[in-house]
Amino acid sequence: MLRGQAATPQHPAADYFARRTERGVRVFAAMVAKRQQAGLAHPGLGATEVARQIVALWDGLHTMWINDPSFDLGTVLYHAVRRLTGENCMAVRDLINRPDVGL
């Protein structure tokens, strides 16, 4: 609720939430870029765009979890990040390219 109220620039917590979001995007963008360099995330993705999606996903899942803690938030977030970064596709690509397994 506070986050929604803080969406107005005059709210005392507006700067806090803006900085929190910016920091999250920076951290996740760096993570995605490192995973791209390591061949674990799809190289054609924009790291900052994916980072914004991860932050939005995390915030949404966290809100859902507060209302219904019956699911494992960490596991759901982990699998979603793999999908957003194309990690599953990269793993399949690596398997296909292996002489002992692939085509």
Range of the domain at 58: 2-97
Confidence of residue 17 (pLDDT cuts 50, 70, 90): confident
Q: What is the tally of structural domains in the chain?
A: 1
**% of the chain beyond a pLDDT of 70:** 92
Question: 0.85 cut: is pTM over it?
Answer: no
- Whether 17 maps to a domain, the answer reads yes
User: What is the average per-residue pLDDT within 50-74?
Assistant: 95
How many residues appear in the chain?
A: 103
Q: What DSSP string describes 39-63? A: TSS-TTS-HHHHHHHHHHHHHHHHH
Task: Report the distance separating Cα 22 and Cα 24, nearest Å.
Answer: 5
- Whether 102 maps to a domain, the answer reads no
**pLDDT, position 65:** 95
For the cut 90, the answer to whether the pLDDT of residue 18 exceeds it is no
- Whether 52 maps to a domain, the answer reads yes
Q: What is the H or E stretch that residue 19 is in?
A: helix 14-37
- Whether 27 maps to a domain, the answer reads yes
Q: Judge whether 68 and 18 are in contact, CB under 8 Å.
A: no
User: What is the average per-residue pLDDT within 59-65?
Assistant: 94
